[in-house]
Structure 1
Amino acid sequence: MLRRAASIALLFVTHGAYAVTAPSVTLHGTTFSTEFATDDASRELGLMNRTELAADHSMLFVFVDDEPRAFWMKNTLIPLDILYFNKDRQLVSMQLNAQPCKADPCAIYPSGGQYARYVLELKAGTAGKLGLKLGETLTIEGDPGTVR
């Protein structure tokens, strides 16, 4: 009986630890589950071909260097808010309500010359609902292996 109780306790501890390390980001006091895009292939695919994005979900693009970034919406089917963060995870630029692109040429959504290491995509309208301002800090939970 004692062994079974220990096994059940271990099961709860293990699952509880997993819940703590599940990938998420927090911005302006709101936490979003997230997917990490940390290599060229995952960054290129991004949120393409998805028909919906839950209001509490996001995708975080992680780069190893700091430079001006630009995103496009080719084959992305849902409008997005695209938020650019520097190496210190401070919000430096926003492209709000970026629209899907079905045919070339697609609009480019740049970081406005600002250097960015992290780019967060959220459902369009989220930044406005949160009242985001430049300088906000992004908190990242979970380890995709390259988050710096």
Structure 2
Amino acid sequence: MKRWLAPIFLLLTGCVSAAPGSKSPAVVLHGQRFSAEFATDEPSREHGLMMRTTLAPDHCMLFVFSYTAPQAFWMKNTLIPLDILYFDTDRRLVSMQLDVPPCKADPCPIYPSDAPARYVLELSAGTARRIGAKAGDELRIEGDIGPVR
């Protein structure tokens, strides 16, 4: 293959993998779409957004559990303030912890849900208030969550 054809070939193969109709992982809440990272196993749920210094306003992390129960999160090694939203099995918003600050003390405070939850969404602090999220709102998930462990 000619040397100048290689970059064109790579570009075209990238276009095929991003075919129309394919969607990157995202969630939609109260009419707002957020690109999402899914945390579906114990190691990814434990690590979450630790050690990150920023979270784009249109980005989030969705924690998916294989069971529904009261959930509790903490901010150990989390450097950015967050909104933590809890959703039940039907993906209805059941609880919110807003403007949760980074943990600067040890032990870190715990932020529990007020009701059993299966999905937990972390957004940049202030986002839930800005979009008008409220109890009962439905979370729509776009993309393949994959196996939940």
- Structure with more of its chain in helix, by fraction: 1
Check if 1:127 corresponds to 2:122: no
Moved over 2 A (4+): 8-14
Check if 1:28 corresponds to 2:30: yes
Name the aligned partner's letter for residue 43 of structure 2.
Answer: A
Q: How does 1:42-57 map to 2 (within 5 A)?
A: 42-57=44-59
* Equivalent in 103, 106, 117 of residue 104 of structure 1: 106
Q: Structure 2 CA distance, aligned partners of 1:133 and 1:100?
A: 23
| Alignment root-mean-square deviation, CA | 1.8
Which runs of 5 or more structure 1 residues have no equivalent in the other structure? 1-7
Q: Structure 2 CA distance, aligned partners of 1:11 and 1:123?
A: 31
Which runs of 5 or more structure 2 residues have no equivalent in the other structure? 1-10
Q: Structure 1 CA distance, aligned partners of 2:89 and 2:71?
A: 13
Q: CA deviation at 1:136?
A: 0.1
Please give the TM-score of this superposition, normalised by the length of structure 2: 0.86
Query: Aligned to 2:45, what secondary structure does the other structure show?
Result: helix
- Structure with more of its chain in strand, by fraction: 1
Structure 2 match to 1:84: 86
* Equivalent in 72, 77, 92 of residue 75 of structure 1: 77
Name the aligned partner's letter for residue 28 of structure 2.
Answer: T
Structure 1 match to 2:19: 16
Please give the TM-score of this superposition, normalised by the length of structure 1: 0.87
* Equivalent in 55, 58, 61 of residue 60 of structure 2: 58
Q: Structure 1 CA distance, aligned partners of 2:93 and 2:46?
A: 22
Distance verdict in 2 for CA 1:10–1:50, change over 3 Å: closer
